[in-house]
Amino acid sequence: MNRKEYFGEFGGTYVPEDLKLALEDLSENFYKYIDDDDFKEELKFYQKEYIGRPSLLYYAEKLTEKIGGAKIYLKREDLNHTGSHKINNALGQILLAKRMGKKRIIAETGAGQHGVAAATVCAMFGMDCTVYMGEIDTKRQDLNVFRMKLLGAKVVPVTSGTKTLKDAVDAALQDYIENYEDTFYLIGSAVGPHPFPVMVREFQSIIGKEARKQILEKEDKLPDYIVACVGGGSNCIGLFHHFYEDKEVKMVGVEPAGKGIDTNEHAASITKGKPGIIHGFKSYTLSDEKGEPMPVYSIAAGLDYPAVGPEHAFYKESGRGEYRYATDKEALDAFLELSRVEGIIPALESSHAVAVGCKIAEKLDKDKIVLINLSGRGDKDVNQVRELMNL
Ligand SMILES: *Cc1c(COP(=O)(O)O)cnc(C)c1O
């Protein structure tokens, strides 16, 4: 695999010298093992036997009929062990950590989804696991804190700054600087300094690799549109990667517009942000005049990050990717619609992609195809939705 630190002007390694050493060591090992047959075999084995891959590509016939336009297909990442795409990345990284002889895993988590995925693979491979989580998030998501503990992980509440995800990332990076000789930082999305964005994309690219093969088998042609939600951008880049060269396939990322992109309550980093540096990399960020990350908001806790992976920033600039957004209300409507019409309760994050995917399909002829990544299941969200609807 070619080494690539920058995507256009985005990406890079904007970190202190100490951390550079750790990242260089990580890069060396990542590029070595990602092309190693033995490593690839091991990854494939656990993808099948532990995660349950390949995930289904499902023709949503009822939803298609209801919308009345293009055929809608769903890539069912919600059916993976632990219920989302996050396990794809956690598995890949822990296998790499094992090869590198690391004994201790650290991770950051916002809503707790990535923390649970990290704790899961650590339990399975017998690794010591510490998860940094903003104190506010530990209270908001106490069930996920309990899940991580159940899986044997230590959860460290972070009390600095805004006590949320961005502070948890800072705490994890600090631990990594101090302990990288025996510690592996299992990052949760396609963000951070090089090589993290490339590494996470590589482990998530199984989504698009399978989807491309499956749609060719079922339809004998490629989709017209592929659609995924964008938080940090890992499920979306995982879907896009193997379609990149298929220029006729339009790639659409969907950002969380919260209560509206003209309010202060959204997390639409590409739509409303500007280029800047955050957490060691350059990308589109939502930041104030001083360059400090702004507080962000979405109905879907897994989407509220004040930046986006650097490869998406590049796709936006080059025009290869198109970035749209869905509001809380649109996501909630899609959540209810998919539950009712197909008997599939999607994650609120994924519901953003469903909302925009349906809008696109509506305007297309019946011989067109829209493929939507269903990044996770919505069981984790039913209490929140019940409260929102006053049920
Ligand atoms: C975390 C999460 C996301 C957002 O993360 P990305 O890195 O943007 O993919 C999306 N969907 C689900 C179900 C998640 O748990």
Domain with 375 in it: what CATH number? 3.40.50.1100
Residue 150 lies in a domain: yes
Cα R_g (the chain), whole angstroms: 19
Counting as low any pLDDT under 50, the low residues of the chain are none
Give the pLDDT confidence score for residue 390 in this predicted structure. Answer: 81
What pLDDT is stored for residue 1 in this prediction? 80
Q: Is 347 in the pocket of ligand 1 (CB under 6 A)?
A: yes
Decide if 264 is inside a domain: yes
- 75 and 169 assigned to the same domain: no
Instruction: Return the active site residues.
Output: 86, 108, 375
Cβ pair 328, 299 in contact under 8 A: yes
Pocket test for ligand 1, best of 85, 207, 279, 384 (most atoms within 8 A of CB): 85
pLDDT of residue 238: 98
Instruction: Please report the pLDDT score of residue 35 as a whole number.
Output: 97
* 89 lies in the same domain as 130: yes
Q: Which residues of 6-16 are buried (b: 16+ CB within 10 A; e: fewer)?
A: ebeebbbbebe
Tell me what pLDDT residue 140 has: 85
How many domains, in total, are found in the chain? 2
Q: Which residue owns the Cα nearest ligand 1 atom 7?
A: 234
Query: Do 212 and 284 reside in the same domain of the chain?
Result: yes
Closest residue (by CA) to atom 10 of ligand 1? 349
